[in-house]
Chains A and B, each alone.
Chain A
Amino acid sequence: MRQSSAVRWIVFLVIGVLLAALLSVMLGSVSIPFKEILSIFKGKVDSGSTLPAVQGKFSSIVFDLRIPRTLLVLLVGAALATSGGAYQGLFQNPLADPYLIGVASGAGLGSIVAMTIQWPQDLLGYFAVPISAFIGSILAVLLVYSLSKVGKTVHNTTLILAGVAVSSLSNALTSFLLINAGGELRRAIVWMMGGSTLVGWKPVIASAPFILLGIALLCSMGYPLNVLQFGDEEAQQMGVPVKKVRILIILAASLTTAAAVAFCGTIAFVGLVVPHILRRLVGNDHRLLLPLSALGGAIFLTISDILARTLLAPQEIPVGVITILFGAPFFLFILRKTKRKIW
């Protein structure tokens, strides 16, 4: 991949992100035309002017609902796709996405634990959820990793099997906690299906630092991840401190996943589908692949979220359902194709 075409890909996807974000602010149970949005922004800038009543209503929809939601969805999509790409590279396994290897379910269990102790109300409560999710995800990934490690090598099949087992276990524990959750049950179930019932700016503020930090860390590890594709022993011979790199990637990817899961629940397949499509388009250089995955994941989830809000409006479909509707057929397609080419 040459430098110039790498830049072209990034520019292309950044434009995609901006367009998706704009659509996401415009569309929903109430559509707001582009002109209105422009004038709302203008009105916000020169705050001296008095706005007509209807614009005031749109203004609150845009600033208190649409924009924070769009930002959250962009962040979560980027988080899931980047960590998915990193996990696939780390385990050299095309099926390793945060859900299949149990990280996301561990994070889900962690967040539910935090939510059942106290449903978040203030900002501090909101921060407790991603932190608890992070602990859950780290425990899950360590468990899966140690289960699938035989001697010095990690067996790919065992990795997926262990991931499925740990996932099921955490999901069962999550359900158990939900049954005891009482009044918050409905909110928690919607959360589990991948719909954010938490509106407003607080979830954005609580998850953004973790997600941005995690993505930045992961993107900085593209090169060691490339060398790691030769296996641990050879990578070490080429001068890569393998253990350190592995731990850093696991920590960063789990942090990113956990912060995403904490507020958006179970959104499967983003971490699988997006890096896969990009691998086919740009190759396996993780220095380019991971940033592109972040952008591509943001686009994919934002579009899914727009569909989730508009398909059955005013009824809202959990976005996790939409991503599975897209993702599952693609997943099957990959399973059939995986014997050839990129892996």
Chain B
Amino acid sequence: MLHVETLSVTMNQKAILSGISFELHKGKILGLIGPNGAGKTTLIRAINGSVDIEQGKIVFKKQDLTALNVQEHARFIATVPQNRIIPAGFTVRQIVLMGRTPYLNWFGRSTKEDEQIAEQAMRRTDTLSLADVTADELSGGEQQRVILARAFAQNTPLLLLDEPTTHLDIRFQMEFLDLLFEHVREEKMSVIIAMHDLNQAMRFCDEVLLLSQGKIYASGKPQDVLTEKKLSTVYQYPIKIKYNHGDTPVYIYPKF
């Protein structure tokens, strides 16, 4: 239902992305992997309209996303960005309610329904008990769940996440990903998530796109894309994979 066709992005006369085409079906989770500078973040920002695309189409349910105004656009796509910004002096509840912005008027007047949706989003992300705490006082892992709750409250069919677990410790990483994927599976949301951790990509994603220098190097099911040969070529470092019962990959690691 999401079609990206021959998408190209150029910044300062340098091609950052070229000829990106892929499809994402309803309820599927697509992982973006690839080395630093491969174009993962730019692809996410191109799909959500933060960077201008030079060429190509982004069509969602027959709707050309680039033709929508800001408010309509925000009803289709929610983004959890790479750098977490938590402005000071707002409670968790206030921040999660801001996820409802695309459905509110200029004055931000929320209805009972908006408040219930926000509450549900907080319950889903295990932040309801923090609702009336000032969000900038929370730990990094809790703050990231607040941002996730805000994105859930936006109630979009498509969710983009840019390395959402980068600065979290291992427990918060797993908690975050578990909460995320439980919710999106239940709501049948389509998800695009940029990841650095190849093992997490293998474990959670239905499909992966392996990006290299702004192009798609390989795409498909995780076990087909995440191979020693492909990964070693793209990351320019020897990478090993441990298999279980012959063919199920269980652990990806750099060669020591």
- The interface of chain A, by Cβ under 8 A from chain B, is 92, 220, 222-224, 226-227, 229-231, 233-234, 236-242, 279, 283-285, 287, 341-343
Query: Which among B50, B89, B90 has the greatest number of chain A C-beta atoms within 10 A?
Result: B89
- Whether B101 contacts A227 by the Cβ 8 Å rule is yes
Chain A proximity mask over B103-129: 1 for CB below 8 Å, otherwise 0: 010111000000000000000000000
Given contacts A226-B90, A284-B89, A284-B90, are A238 and B98 in contact (CB under 8 A)?
yes
Whether a CB of chain A sits under 8 angstroms from the CB of B87 is yes
Whether a CB of chain A sits under 8 angstroms from the CB of B71 is yes
- Whether A238 contacts B99 by the Cβ 8 Å rule is yes
Q: Kindly provide the distance from the CB of A27 to the nearest chain B CB, expressed in whole angstroms.
A: 36
A-B CB contact pairs (8 Å), 7 listed: A92-B87, A223-B107, A227-B98, A234-B79, A237-B81, A238-B99, A283-B89
Top 8 A-B residue pairs of the complex, sorted by shortest distance between their CB atoms? A223-B108, A284-B89, A239-B74, A239-B102, A229-B87, A283-B89, A239-B71, A238-B101
A287 contacts across to B, CB distance below 8 A: 107-108
Count of chain B residues with a beta carbon within 8 Å of a chain A beta carbon: 32
A241 contacts across to B, CB distance below 8 A: 69-71
- Whether A230 contacts B77 by the Cβ 8 Å rule is no
Q: Kindly provide the distance from the CB of A243 to the nearest chain B CB, expressed in whole angstroms.
A: 9
Q: Kindly provide the distance from the CB of B38 to the nearest chain A CB, expressed in whole angstroms.
A: 20
Q: Kindly provide the distance from the CB of B146 to the nearest chain A CB, expressed in whole angstroms.
A: 12
A342 contacts across to B, CB distance below 8 A: 88-89
Whether a CB of chain A sits under 8 angstroms from the CB of B94 is yes
- Whether A236 contacts B99 by the Cβ 8 Å rule is no
Complexed CA–CA distance, A223 and B106 (Å): 7
Complexed CA–CA distance, A223 and B103 (Å): 13
Name the CB-closest residue of B to A280: B89
Name the CB-closest residue of A to B89: A284
Complexed CA–CA distance, A284 and B91 (Å): 10
- Whether A238 contacts B154 by the Cβ 8 Å rule is yes
A229 contacts across to B, CB distance below 8 A: 85, 87, 90
